[in-house]
A = this chain, B = another copy of it.
């Protein structure tokens, strides 16, 4: 990689970090807890969001910001499930960045919500490099992807605060060693929690909902202190 290219990439990342900090402050002012939800294409981010909206809509006011290269499919699904949804089309870019999120944040009254879910572009590589300014980073892995993914995508697995392993209803039909996956994850990210769920059957999701409630409370408590 040329020195010029490295320098440009550093400039882009450092500009991104400044806007991410701005987003973090906007969200704090509105006391709005937020997660950056990342995954491979098709791991189940949108289905997890649908389930979250359907189950928590009476308890939490949820805002969803959906990042996709093209289409409004995901925002349409979040909206149909009962949340307020904003679509960002990246127009080819392989990840969301803090500037894109900033523009979306300015379209909503953040004070009207308890939980913001930012659905990143389906990609296990590039989104890991761009801080968005959300409170936490959550990764959705899925059983059919294979148990070797922490080893093969270390930046993503190292940088997240919570890992949800989805599609456990498919465990009988594919070769997936949960302990191998868990060890790969722990080697990179020893303190991270791993939750096994099936967004299709609903198995395990109650613990995800509890986790969200707990984190929202912690976030607000820290803001008061």
Contact = CB atoms under 8 A, between A and B. Distances in A.
* Listed residue (A5, A42, A149, A155) with the most chain B CB atoms within 10 angstroms of its CB: A42
Contact of A152 (B4, B122, B151): B122
13 contacts: A4-B8, A40-B40, A40-B42, A40-B145, A41-B124, A41-B149, A41-B153, A42-B145, A69-B153, A94-B126, A122-B124, A125-B126, A170-B173
Contact of A123 (B4, B123, B151, B155): B123
* Listed residue (A68, A121, A155, A173) with the most chain B CB atoms within 10 angstroms of its CB: A173
A90 B68 CA distance: 25
B8 A151 contact: no
Nearest to A124: B41
Contacts of A92: 155
Contacts of A177: none
